[in-house]
A and B are shown apart, each in its own frame.
Chain A
Amino acid sequence: MEMIELILGKYNYWIYIALMMIGFYATIAKENLIKKIIGLNIFQTAVFLFYISIGKVDGGTAPILWDKAVLYDNPLPHCLMLTGIVVSVSTTAVALALIIKIYKAYGTIEEDKILEMGEEEKTPTPGSWPQGSR
């Protein structure tokens, strides 16, 4: 009986953790660089969902002042996750710009091929860049 209560009280946290692990697996196991960034994005939005669900109160309304409201939701996680979304989009933008530069320098965006090409060339001499980048 208390097993069913445990599951009913916490099943949504487990779904959010499953979403996080899908994004985490995509970040570490896939070799295409753009797929890694997509996995990072899924991971980040799942973490925001987890935090916002912590702030929910049974029977509460949206955190805007209203004279017919009895109980409000917690506004603090909303504020923190707003900053998180902004940082997430900034990180994605800079990462994609770096991927475009890597493609111009190496000609491929698969991670293992880039590592092989890097080993073959050893260290570049000062003043020269690998293979024809602008």
Chain B
Amino acid sequence: MIIDLILLLFLVVSALAAVLMKDLLSTTVILGAYSLIMAIVWTRLNAVDVAFTEASVGAGITTMLIIAALSRTKRMEEDQRSEGIGRNSRRSEFRNFLLFIVAFVTCGILVYGTMDMPDYGDKNAPAQTHVAPRYIEKSYEEAGAINFVTAILANYRGYDTLGETTVIFTAGISVILLLRRKR
């Protein structure tokens, strides 16, 4: 449990650092570290398929994409307060404070919402008792796969995976339409 707490503390600190820095290249590298620690946290929670995907996609593809976009635009974020003369700078600070209050109120509402939730790791929570036992018991006979997650993705919920593949294909087409150079 101590290791879990240390990993979560690292996550919060690196997320804060990524948001507050001005040099966007350093932010991207910290985002890569954040994705990797998130994959380790998911392995501690026994979600091995998801951790595999996040380690390959989050720490690999997303970091590479943001660096490629940075190489074609600006690297440094501009200071929000240096341009304003008097009136502009005060308005920007007031706006940031107001948005911070909005985030704080949303946090409060969400914490109030978790008061009714079952405890962490509860065996009799409603999430564990409705449809999951059927997937766990009958998965090998009906789907023929040892990995339950693959059996659900490809057999019980195969239509959702078709939609997910179409979403990736659409993203590829959109990037081609936006950025391809004509000869």
Contacts and interface: CB of A to CB of B under 8 A. Distances in A.
Interface of A: 6, 9-10, 12-15, 17-26, 28-32, 34-35, 37-39, 41-42, 45, 48-49, 52-58, 60-65, 71-79, 81-83, 85-87, 89-94, 96-101, 103, 108-110, 134
Interface of B: 8, 11-12, 15-16, 18-19, 24, 27-28, 31, 34-35, 38, 41-42, 45-50, 53-54, 57-58, 61-62, 65-66, 68-70, 72-74, 77-78, 80, 95-96, 99-100, 102-104, 106-107, 110-111, 114-115, 117, 119-123, 125, 127-128, 131-132, 135-136, 139-140, 146-149, 152-153, 157, 160-161, 164, 167-168, 170-171, 174-175, 178-179, 181
Given A17-B111, A35-B24, A79 B153 contact: yes
Nearest to B139: A65
Given A17-B111, A25-B103, A61 B73 contact: no
Contact of B16 (A22, A60, A62, A81): A22
A39 B50 contact: no
Q: Is the interface of B mostly helix, strand, loop or mixed?
A: helix
Contacts of B115: 6, 10
Q: Is the interface of A mostly helix, strand, loop or mixed?
A: helix
B73 A90 contact: no
Given A38-B31, A62-B48, A75-B148, A93 B65 contact: yes
A101 B105 CA distance: 35
Q: Which of B70, B114, B168, B174 has the most CB of A within 10 A?
A: B114
A126 B175 CA distance: 25
